[in-house]
Structures are given as structure tokens and as C-alpha cells.
Amino acid sequence: MNFDIAFGQYCEGNSILHRLDPRAKIISALIFIVDIFIAKSVWAFLLLTVFSLMTAAASRIKARVILKGLRPIIFIMVFTGIVNIFWFKGERLLVDFWFIHIYLEGIINALLIMLRVILLLMGTSVILTYTTTPLSLTDGLEQLLSPLSKIKVPVHEFSLMMTIALRFIPTLVEETTKIMNAQKARGADFSEGSLVKRAKALVPILVPLFASAIRRADELAVAMECRCYRGGVGKTKMNVLKASLSDAACVLVFILLGVAVVLINKFASGFRIGI
Amino acid sequence: MSNTNKANEAYEKNEKNEITESKKAGGADIIKAENISFTYDGGGSEEKVEALKNISFSVKEGSFTAILGRNGSGKSTLAKLLCMVLTPDGGRLTVDGVDVTSDETTEEDIYEARKNVGMVFQNPDNQIVATIVEEDVAFGPENLGIEPAVIRRRVDEALDIVGMRKYARHSASRLSGGQKQRVAIAGTIAMRRRCIIFDESTAMLDPIGRREVMDSIVRLNRDEGITVIMITHYMDEASLADRVIVMDGGEIVMDGAPSEIFVRAEELWQCGLDVPQTTELLWRMRKAGLDVPLDAFGERECAEAIEKALEKAAKI
């Protein structure tokens, strides 16, 4: 089994993007999503595309890895593309057959919407998931959300849950493999038969897996108590996040990008996206 | 910046003073149990299991004690009492000066005692909290609210002691069992604890992992002066201790130096335990009529003792 699941999509590296404070990256990614959604003009999309390619280059992540990350959304992209081609009403009619009317604007619109989905995924994964370890991601989230603890939102507990979940994914994957092998050795078959049959074959895997997960949780709780854990009160952190000038610069760049997009929307001529 | 550095230095200085003071006091009892007992109430059913019956013993600061016993002898229950996960039903238990059994003892007192007495469990996977090795080692000190710079230094030191410094940034899940267990040990050292209890910490490891962990444990006691209480059923591990307590049926049946205990081979067998292989060999030879001493431990000593005895026998 592949233990890399625990690290999500994180790619080891030491680029500028890798070194930025996770908080700056979370904020930047959020701003970037807004930037993408307010873009209307073709030229704004061009700017965003160029910008995304530049950040991807700056992250020093291989193009192959990024393209591979886009694979799961191909279906959604094609689907939304086709729907948009058929439903969009423009001026220049290209195909007029029975109930099918395809306009040139419809095709451009569909392409832009597909581009929007690509940019969304590529931008956020390059800025965040490819260049930030899940651990510093949770750390950053905890710090960003920490003001919420004043209104009794259990921010610390939430982040600890995330940390422990990430920590136990590889352990449980390993355990699942072990249980599956044990069942296979007793003649269980997980790959053949009808869907119902295969689903039923999973029960003897899930039951021991849950039982052991509960036992683990119990032991972990005792171990944490022995290590003087008593909630987030009075707890310090070894690695304190320090925002530097480059972090502020990063956020600023994304805000400026948004301003540029708004200006282009307002003044540039040319095609505008429909949705 | 220099201000915080100064504060840190003062902090460290205080810590060192504390440690030297405790070393000066060497020989004081860090754990004292007087007639403690514990019964599991069998999850609501009528059946009650008396795990510990009137146990009394004390552990001196800086000592290395091994507790031996077969499954169900009550040794793990004892460990849970010592690290304050369970509270005894009867008797008096004092850990690091805190009377755990007294009604006046508050949660806060127990928390204070826990700062100095910790435990390393059997399953390495179920006691590691964070994904990255150094983050996990820092978990304990972070809970104590220590300053970040001091935690950093302690984590590095602790990883050095167990020889895991080069794995500091590794993912804990990719380590071997022995390495994980050493990370768990580093996690308790980083809290500057004076006493560490090992509850069969080597039981789930392969021979290489066991040796790595045992080396770390011995070094903790010898070089760092940390009190070690090690629960085990491996004789060769127990022979490294300077005191062995043998438990059976919830009671202490033997208590003494390893050399005193291991020669009582027949009694150990009755408790469902093995003796070290060398001792068994000597015991069998003695029974066969050869005049060998029983207290020759280690392969070399044993071989020499046999050689001597055979020479003597040949002369006659």
C-alpha cells in the first residue's frame, strides 16, 4: 500500500512557495479563488493564466505532477463544457440542426469555464497543498482561526483532531492491508462477484478495523494524559509561526492581482464570460 | 531578542539547579507503595478480579528496577498505578512526594507528579501523537507550557540521547518499531522527567529493535541518572537492572539483585518465568553432579565457570 496518502499531495522542495508562512499561503489561496471568480473578461483570464503558470514555475514542481493532479477533474470539465456549449445563446450561429444550436460564443464561454476550473485547482494546489505539509497547514489554520476561540469555538481541539487523523492514516492503512491479507489467507475474495457481494465481503474487514481503531484511541488517550496533555490552555508551541516581509508581499501580490482583474473587467473590450 | 535569551538562560539554570539538588538527595524514594491493592470490577458483572494484593515496596531515585511476572501476574496493573492512570483501592501510594491515595490530593497535585514520572507503553503506534518525529517529541514540553526556544533545545538533546537526531524531520509512520519506541522515549526525556516506567516497551519489537531500545534505557539510567522501572518478561533484559522484583498472582514473590534472583531457578519456573539460558545450563549441570556456581551470568563468564569446573573434575 502507498503510505504517501498521509502526506496528501505534498511535494518535497525548498522553493519560495515552500518557505512561505502557511497562514500567508492560506490567505493568498482564498484571495486567488476570489480573483478567479470575479474575472469576466478574456484578458483577465489571460492574466490569471499567465500568473498561475508563473507561480507553478516558481514552486519548482514538475509539470507532470501538476498535470496528473488535474486528471480527476477531466470528467467535470468535459461535462460542464458540453452543457455550456449547448445552452449558451449568442449571435454567431455555427450549427443549427433540429434542436441543437451551437454558437461561437457558446464555445468560447465553455472553454473559459473549463479554464476557470483548471485555474482553481492548479492555483490552490500549487499555492497550498503541493507546497505545504498537512501539519503546517493545520498549524496555520489553527492560528488563523484562533480569534474564534474567544467565542467558544474549539479551535485547538479541532486542530488536534486533524493532526491525529493525519498521523493515524498510514497506521490504519497498514492495518487494513494486514486484515485483508488475513482474510484472503482464509479464502475471502474481494475482487469478484456482484456489487452487493463485494460490499458484503468488506464487512469482515471493517469490523476488526473499527474495533482496533477504538482500542487505539483508548490507548492514545491514556498516553496523552501521561504526557501531561490537558487541552489547549497553557500550551506552547515549539515552532512558532513568524510572518515575514515576503509573506506580506505574497498576500499583497494576490490582492493586486484582484485589483488588476477588476480593472480589466471594467475597461477592456472583448468577450466576457456568461456565468 | 537578547532579553528572551537571558530569560531562557535563567530558566535553564533553574532547571539544572533542580536536577543537581535532586541528585544530591540521591537515595530518596521517588515511589513508595504501602500495602496497595487493586481490583477490576469486571465491567458490571459479578466477577471481580483482584489484580494486586497488599503490595509494598519503594523505588530509590536513580535506581534501575525490573519487574518480572507472567501474564496476569498484575505487573501491568502496577505500572498503571505508578503512573497514576489508575488509583489504588486500598493502601498508600506516594509518587514523587504526592500521596496519590489521599482524599486531599487534587488533580493539580497529580499533574505536578506526572511532570516527573512518565511511562512508555507497549505499542509504539498508539503513543505517538504527531506526524513528524520532532513534533511528537515536543508534544510533552509543549503541554507543560515551556518557551519555544527551550523546547527546541530539549527536543534536540532528547533525540541525541536516543540516537534519533537524524530522523528529526522524518514521518513517524515510516520508522521501524524500535525507532518509534525510541521516539516515544525521547518524548518523555524532553519533559526532563526523573523517573520513567517502561510497560513491556520491547514486547512488540524484533530482536534488533529490542536491542536499540534496551541500549537507550540503560544509557538513560547510567548517563542521565533517570530512575528506570522496567516491566518485562524477558530475563536477559531484567539482568541489566540492579534490582529485580518478581510478581505472581498479584503479589511480590521475590525482590533482590539479579544475581540473587536468578539462582533461584526452581522458584522462577514456578512463577511461569524462564531463567537466563546460561543459568539454566549451569543449573542442569549442577543437577547432573558437576560442581558449578549458579551465579555466573553472561556467556563468557558461564563458559569460564564450566571450564574451571571441568578441569577440577578431571583432576580428581
Which of B123, B128, B145 is opposite residue A235, by nearest beta carbon?
Answer: B145
For chain A, say whether B60 makes contact (Cβ under 8 Å). no
Task: Mark out the alpha helices in chain B (DSSP H runs).
Answer: 2-24, 75-82, 107-114, 133-143, 148-161, 177-189, 207-224, 235-238, 258-262, 265-270, 277-287, 299-315
Of the candidates B200, B253, B249, B271, which has an alpha carbon nearest to the alpha carbon of residue B49?
A: B249
B188 and chain A in contact, CB less than 8 A: yes
Report how far residue B28's alpha carbon sits from residue B60's, in angstroms, rounded to the nearest whole number: 6
Domain contains A200: no
The mean pLDDT of chain B is 84
- CA B278 to chain centroid: 24
Our CA angle for B77, B82, B86, nearest 5°, is 55
Cβ atoms < 10 Å from Cβ of A2: 7
Q: What is the DSSP letter of A128?
A: I
A41-79: pLDDT as tens digits: 888 999 999 999 999 888 888 888 888 888 888 888 888
Question: Which ipTM was obtained for this model?
Answer: 0.79
The fraction of chain B above a pLDDT of 70, given in percent, is: 90
Residues of B within 8 A of A228 (CB-CB) are: 111, 114-115, 140, 143-144, 191
Residue A208 is assigned to a structural domain of this protein = no
Residue written as grid cell 503510505: A3
Instruction: Tell me the percentage of chain A whose pLDDT exceeds 90.
Output: 23
Shortest CA distance to B188 belongs to which of B154, B150, B146, B214? B154
CA B76 from chain centre, in angstroms, equals 12
Residues of chain B with CATH 3.40.50.300: 28-43+50-261
Residue in the structure block whose three cell numbers are 515552532: A239
Residue B91 vs residues A106, B32, B150, B249: alpha-carbon distances, Å: 84, 11, 39, 18
At residue B182 the predicted structure's pLDDT band, cuts being 50, 70 and 90, is very high
In three-state secondary structure terms, A44 is helix
pLDDT in the model for residue A14:
81
Q: How close does chain A come to B130, measured CA to CA in Å? A: 6
| Partner-chain residue, chosen from B123, B138, B187, that has the shortest CB–CB distance to A219 | B123
CA within 13 Å, CB half, B98: 22
Residue of chain A with shortest Cα separation from B199: A223
The whole-number average pLDDT for the span A135-143 is 84
Domain assignment of residue A248, yes or no: yes
Residue A28 is predicted with a pLDDT of 93
B1 has pLDDT over 60: no
Q: Is residue A217 part of a domain?
A: no
Q: What pLDDT score does A64 carry?
A: 85
User: For chain A, how many structural domains are there in total?
Assistant: 1
Query: Under a CB-based contact definition with an 8 Å cutoff, are residues B281 and B302 in contact?
Result: yes
Q: Which residue has the higher pLDDT, B169 or B141?
A: B141
Contacts A–B by Cβ distance under 8 A: 96
Residue B25 has pLDDT above 70, yes or no: no
| B221 or B5: which leads in pLDDT | B221
More confident residue, A267 or B21: A267
CA separation for the pair B252, B34 (Å, rounded): 12
The answer to whether residue A33 scores a pLDDT higher than 90 is: yes
Residue B11 confidence (pLDDT): 54
- Here the contacts of A218-222 (C-beta below 8 Å, separation 24 or greater) are A219/B121, A219/B123, A219/B126, A219/B127, A220/A164, A220/B126, A220/B127, A220/B129, A222/B85, A222/B121
| Length of chain B as a residue count | 316
DSSP string, A242-258: ---HHHHHHHHHHHHHH
What are the tens digits of pLDDT across the range B256-287? 998 888 888 888 888 888 887 888 888 888 88
pLDDT digits (tens, 9 = 90+) for B172-181: 888 899 999 9
Residue type, A221: A
Please tell me which residue of chain B has the smallest CA distance to A171: B173
Q: Chain A within 8 Å of B30 (Cβ-Cβ)?
A: no
Q: Across the interface, do B129 and A163 touch by the CB < 8 Å criterion?
A: yes
Is residue A213, in this structure, part of any structural domain at all? no
pLDDT at position B13: 52
Cross-chain Cβ contact B139/A229 below 8 Å: yes
pLDDT band at residue B9, thresholds of 50, 70 and 90? Answer: low
Look at residue B286 in the predicted model and tell me its pLDDT.
Answer: 85
∠ Cα A59 A63 A66 (to 5°): 80
- Which range scores top for mean pLDDT: A89-98, B215-224, B277-286? B215-224
Residue of A228, A230, A233, A235 best to disrupt the B interface, most CBs of B under 10 A:
A228
Map grid coordinates 518485562 to a residue: B232
* The three three-digit cell numbers of residue A8, written as one number: 496528501
Contact of A250 with A25, CB cutoff 8 Å: yes
* 8 A C-beta contact, residue A223 and residue B127: yes
By the CB < 8 Å criterion, does B157 face chain A? no
Closest chain A CA to residue B190: A227
pLDDT > 90? residue A29: yes
Question: Which amino acid is it at A27?
Answer: I
Residue ranges of B 164-183 with Cβ closer than 8 A to chain A: 171-174
3-state secondary structure of B46: coil
Contact B143 A229 (CB under 8 A): yes
Structural element, H or E, at residue B231 = strand B227-232
**Facing B143 at nearest CB: one of A135, A222, A227:** A227
The residue range of the domain holding A38 is 9-144+241-267
The band of B7, judged by pLDDT with boundaries at 50, 70 and 90, is low
How far lies B238's CA from each of A85, A254, B79, B246, in Å?
A: 77, 63, 16, 10
How near does any CA of chain A get to the CA of B251, in Å?
A: 25
Nearest neighbour of B130 by CB, restricted to A7, A167, A240: A167
B191 contacts A227? CB cut-off 8 A: yes
What does the pLDDT look like over B51-76, one tens digit per residue? 888 889 999 999 999 999 888 888 88
CA distances from B302 to A100, A213, B218, B310 (A): 96, 47, 23, 12
Give the angle B179-B183-B186 at the CA atoms, nearest 5°: 135
Superfamily grouping for domain B28-43+50-261:
P-loop containing nucleotide triphosphate hydrolases (3.40.50.300)
CA closest to B188 among chain A residues: A227
Structure confidence at residue B65 (pLDDT): 94
Residue of B142, B152, B176, B201 to mutate, interface with A, max A Cβ within 10 Å = B142
Query: A170, B135: Cβ pair inside 8 Å?
Result: no
Higher local confidence (pLDDT), A142 or A232: A142
Q: What is the CA radius of gyration of chain A?
A: 24
Whether the CA torsion B287, B292, B296, B300 is positive or negative: it is negative
B127 touches chain A (CB under 8 A): yes
Q: Do A134 and B131 touch (CB under 8 A)?
A: yes
Question: B114, A230: Cβ pair inside 8 Å?
Answer: no
Cβ–Cβ < 8 Å for A160, A258: no
Give chain A's contact residues with B (Cβ, < 8 Å). Answer: 3, 6-7, 133-135, 163-164, 166-167, 170-171, 174, 216, 219-220, 222-230, 234-240
Please indicate whether, in this complex, the C-beta atoms of A236 and B132 are within 8 angstroms of each other: no
CA neighbours closer than 13 Å in the CB half-sphere of residue A191? 2
